[in-house]
């Protein structure tokens, strides 16, 4: 009887360790995305619960050296990021200070706020998802399709 209780306890302990390990996995590191996370221009599909128009200039690019850059729809921006055990940490964002019509400025402010709040990053097929610590999706991106000009 003691062996059964001991074995049951061992299995429960093993399951708990596996759960904790799987819960804290860094999804981006184990991603089998069709599109590389770094070196790809990511266009937002949605920011929060707001869909983003296809014709926006807004995009984000993660470089392999820990830098990020892009366009917020009005202003160019740059910053840095680090991937850790529990997700992503995006540092301070620097941006140009151009003024644009209010709808663009509002969307850009929401975008920068999403970057600031991001703690988790996941790759799902050709999508990139930034989430906060509670798992709430802050922004969803699609890999931008590069249009190559045909040479004569």
Residue 64 above 50 pLDDT?
Answer: yes
Tokens 């804290």 sit at which residue?
A: 24
**CB-based contacts of 56, cutoff 8 Å, min separation 6:** 43, 44, 73, 107
pLDDT score of 66: 95
The proportion of the chain whose per-residue pLDDT surpasses 90, expressed as a percent, equals 59
For 84-88, what is the mean pLDDT? Answer: 84
Tokens 């850009």 sit at which residue?
A: 108
CATH 2.40.128.270, applies to 2-143: yes
The span from the CA of 124 to the CA of 32, in Å, is 8
The span from the CA of 40 to the CA of 62, in Å, is 7
pLDDT score of 4: 63
pLDDT classification of 8: cutoffs 50, 70, 90:
low
Q: Which has the closest alpha carbon to 87: 146, 30, 9? A: 30
- Please say whether the dihedral angle defined by the alpha carbons of residues 3, 7, 12 and 14, taken in this order, is positive or negative: positive
pLDDT classification of 124: cutoffs 50, 70, 90:
confident
The span from the CA of 147 to the CA of 98, in Å, is 27
Q: Which two tokens stand for residue 74?
A: 């009005």
Residue 21 above 50 pLDDT?
Answer: no
pTM of the model as a whole: 0.72
For 146-151, what is the mean pLDDT? Answer: 40
Q: What is the pLDDT of residues 23-38, one digit of tens each?
A: 333 344 444 445 678 9
């Amino acid at each position: 009887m003691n062996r059964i209780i001991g074995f049951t306890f061992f299995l429960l302990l093993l399951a708990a360790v596996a759960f904790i390990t799987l819960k804290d996995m860094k999804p981006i590191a184990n991603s089998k995305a069709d599109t590389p996370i770094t070196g790809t221009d990511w266009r937002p599909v949605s920011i929060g619960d707001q869909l983003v128009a296809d014709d926006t200039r807004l995009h984000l690019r993660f470089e392999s050296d820990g830098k990020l850059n892009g366009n917020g729809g009005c202003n160019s921006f740059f910053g840095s990021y680090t991937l850790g055990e529990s997700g992503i940490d995006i540092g301070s964002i620097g941006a140009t200070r151009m003024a644009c019509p209010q709808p663009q400025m509002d969307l850009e402010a929401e975008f920068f706020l999403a970057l600031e709040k991001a703690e988790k990053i996941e790759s799902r097929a050709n999508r990139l998802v930034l989430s906060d610590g509670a798992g709430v999706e802050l922004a969803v991106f699609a890999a931008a399709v590069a249009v190559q000009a045909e040479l004569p």
